[in-house]
Amino acid sequence: MIRINENYLKLQASYLFSDIAKRVKAFQDAHPDKEIIRLGIGDVTQALPKACTDAFHAAVDEMAQDSTFRGYGPEQGYAFLREKIANEDFQARGADILPDEIFVSDGAKCDTGNIQEIFAGDIKIAIPDPVYPVYLDTNVMAGRTGTSKDGRFEGITYLDSTKANNFVPDVPKEKVDLIYLCFPNNPTGSTITKSQLKKWVEYARENKALILYDAAYEAFIQDSALPHSIYEIEGAKDVAIESRSFSKTAGFTGTRCAYTVVPKTCMAYDKSGNTHALHSLWNRRHTTKFNGVSYPVQRAAEAVYSSQGKVQVKSLISYYLKNAGLIRKELMALGFDCVGGDNSPYIWVDCKMDSWKFFDLMLDEAGVVCTPGVGFGRCGQGFIRISAFNNYSNVEKAMTKIRKVIG
């Protein structure tokens, strides 16, 4: 008898985005003539930078000639891309990361979801609340939790991100083994300072723990004092794995390219207490289960680091940050407390009522779709997330509509 992995039954069906879709559809059916502006999505809207599409086209042409055709590439990524990443994203910021510590992949979602399989089944996990659901759900699937009660899984240490800590959780009082952190944060848009991040690195070193640092929104950082990488913190190379993505940086959500850094000095332990390099474990996993990102996509990603690419990516980020700035300014003028939107594309708004109630008000009265904060965790209740991924004119229109309802 073929049997299922019953851990899947523990997952609360994620009703968030299907719930949103249902409510939007009901509104559309009832008011077919009313315009709807979507500020709920976590997907980019603007085209790929020209430097990337030029490199993409040229690489496709190489694939069309026997003399330049490429079959399977290295699973870890082509050297041309890994070298650019190491130099531009890390060495240039004083973080001593080498090309062979970089694993190119088809997404930070897959990497942050898959990484847990190289660790023991009974390690203790710490996960922020609210959170990007991938970190939690993949550990539930792997059987590292009990069942869910009142929206929280048994066996997980939740790191509350609230107004009281300015949406940057402090290190836990108890001992945990694997910690997920994401800055600039999705969904709250909050950022972490070097001294706050240093506390986490120290905690991990003292407790022989590991930090999984998701820096998918790194490119949105404007404040020069903020760390772009966890490896800017001394000692982090021994206790942290970092994931990045070209998705939000350069519009690669539909093109697919990301990478994970596993420094060779990053260690974990077997049950006898012997150390093992995580680099070799992840390399084994990656080469067994993954066959590399396509050559043209890696060439397109490489172009992000060209001089034209850099200018174009910067202007893409500025475009979204201009939207974010407008959203933030307008909502604050209406008397709402907000975080994010300055170094991130998300604005986390204290809506002063139930998340879903505010969602319905925005949809029914203003025709604007946002994301109810409670969908990201219990601490998200009373908040909504507004995304800056849209056209500026739509954002302006949405803000005018919201002003009419609230103002």
Ligand X SMILES: *Cc1c(COP(=O)(O)O)cnc(C)c1O
Among 179, 201, 212, 216, binds ligand X (CB under 6 A): 216
Contact between 188 and ligand X (CB under 6 A)? Answer: no
Contact between 44 and ligand X (CB under 6 A)? Answer: no
Supply φ then ψ for residue 55, to 5 degrees.
-65, -35
Closest distance of CB 290 from ligand X, Å? 13
Contact between 201 and ligand X (CB under 6 A)? Answer: no
Amino acid at 131: V
Cβ proximity to ligand X, 148 vs 253, nearer residue:
253
Cβ proximity to ligand X, 186 vs 371, nearer residue:
186
Q: Where are the extended beta strands (E) located within 191-292?
A: 210-214, 240-245, 258-261, 267-269, 275-277
Among 38, 109, 328, 385, binds ligand X (CB under 6 A): 109
Is there a contact between 14 and 140 (Cβ–Cβ < 8 Å)? no
Which of these, 371, 143, 116, lies nearest to 243 by C-alpha position?
116
Cβ proximity to ligand X, 186 vs 323, nearer residue:
186
Burial 9-46 (b: 16+ CB within 10 A, else e): ebeeeeebeeebeebbeebeeeeeeeeebbbbebebbe
Among 138, 186, 344, 387, binds ligand X (CB under 6 A): 186
Among 56, 119, 132, 180, binds ligand X (CB under 6 A): 132
**How many binding residues for ligand X (CB under 6 A)?**
14
Is there a contact between 346 and 167 (Cβ–Cβ < 8 Å)? no
The owner of tokens 């939690």 is 136
Closest distance of CB 253 from ligand X, Å? 5
Closest distance of CB 261 from ligand X, Å? 14
Cβ proximity to ligand X, 257 vs 331, nearer residue:
257
Is there a contact between 282 and 262 (Cβ–Cβ < 8 Å)? yes
Closest distance of CB 215 from ligand X, Å? 9
From the list 89-97, 190-198, 241-249, 370-378, the region that binds ligand X by CB under 6 A is: 241-249
Contact between 42 and ligand X (CB under 6 A)? Answer: yes
Cβ proximity to ligand X, 114 vs 247, nearer residue:
247
Contact between 182 and ligand X (CB under 6 A)? Answer: yes
Q: In what order do the strands lie in the sheet with 346-350?
A: 338-340, 346-350, 383-387, 371-372
Amino acid at 237: K
CA trace torsion 233, 235, 241, 243 (10° rounding): 20
Among 83, 214, 302, 342, binds ligand X (CB under 6 A): 214
Closest distance of CB 374 from ligand X, Å? 18
The owner of tokens 């790191």 is 159
Class of residue 149 by CB neighbours under 10 A (exposed 0-12, middle 13-18, buried 19+): exposed
Closest distance of CB 217 from ligand X, Å? 7
Give the Cα separation of 404 and 356 in Å (integer): 20
Closest distance of CB 382 from ligand X, Å? 21
Among 107, 130, 263, 367, binds ligand X (CB under 6 A): 107
| x/- letters, 329..368, toward ligand X (CB under 6 A) | ----------------------------------------
Closest distance of CB 11 from ligand X, Å? 18
Closest distance of CB 107 from ligand X, Å? 3
Q: What share of the chain is helix, strand, coil (3-state, %, to 5)?
A: 45, 15, 40
Residues 242-261 that bind ligand X (CB under 6 A): 245, 247-248, 253, 258
Contacts of 379 (CB under 8 A, 6+ apart): 129, 130, 160, 161, 162
Class of residue 47 by CB neighbours under 10 A (exposed 0-12, middle 13-18, buried 19+): exposed
Supply φ then ψ for residue 150, to 5 degrees.
50, 40
Contact between 108 and ligand X (CB under 6 A)? Answer: yes
Angstrom CA distances, 338 to 38, 213, 331, 404, stand at 19, 24, 8, 19
Cβ proximity to ligand X, 253 vs 287, nearer residue:
253
CA trace torsion 262, 266, 268, 272 (10° rounding): 140
Contact between 230 and ligand X (CB under 6 A)? Answer: no
Closest distance of CB 377 from ligand X, Å? 13
Under the rule (CB under 6 A), what is the footprint of ligand X? Answer: 42, 107-109, 132, 182, 186, 214, 216, 245, 247-248, 253, 258
